[in-house]
Homo-oligomer: A and B are copies of this chain.
Amino acid sequence: MATAPPPPSDTAHLDAQELRAWRGLLRTYARLTKALDAELEAAHGLPLSSYEVLMLIADAEGGQMRMHDIASSILLSRSGLTRLVDRLERDGLLCRKSCSSDARGAFACLTPKGRDVLDAARAAHLAGVRAKFLDHFSPAEQEQLGGFWERVAST
């Protein structure tokens, strides 16, 4: 049984400007990720989620990263990441390494092939991100957007 929470009751609708700000986010995200994912997949056979993982690891210290840290960085469940890393390992793009200081842990680190694939994909993908998103904003606006996200994230 749904118990109605005590709402500020006469706010049953978003006004036009709220709607634009909110639904715009939803649509923009959906459109951009679909387009970029398709682009990446077509050009390098690499889904966006795999790309994110490879790039995260490549930019990490020592070219390796703990599973848990990867998962929380890209907001993926641990099981989801396990499977994703399974696929990347099967494709020879990265490999698991056990952690000497904590036997529970596992590192994921890039193989040479993984680094090659990533390097090939990175330029094209970043160009896509710029063309489809960043180029629509001035440097000042980009800075402002960054501040917006930080504000939202802070709660």
Contact = CB atoms under 8 A, between A and B. Distances in A.
A152 interface: yes
A7 B2 CA distance: 47
- The number of chain A residues touching the other chain, given as a range, is 35 or more
Interface of A: 2, 4-5, 7-9, 11-14, 17-18, 20-22, 24-34, 43-45, 75, 119-120, 122-124, 126-127, 129-130, 132-134, 136-137, 139, 141-143, 145-146, 148-153, 155
Contacts of A129: 14, 18, 22
Contact of A123 (B7, B22, B137, B142): B7
A21 B145 contact: yes
Contacts of A18: 129-130, 134, 142
A133 B145 contact: no
A146 B13 contact: no
22 contacts: A2-B44, A2-B45, A4-B124, A5-B124, A7-B127, A8-B130, A11-B126, A11-B130, A12-B126, A17-B139, A18-B134, A20-B143, A20-B145, A20-B150, A21-B143, A22-B129, A24-B146, A27-B149, A27-B153, A132-B152, A136-B155, A137-B151
Contacts of A130: 8, 11, 18
Contacts of A14: 126, 129, 134
A33 B5 CA distance: 20
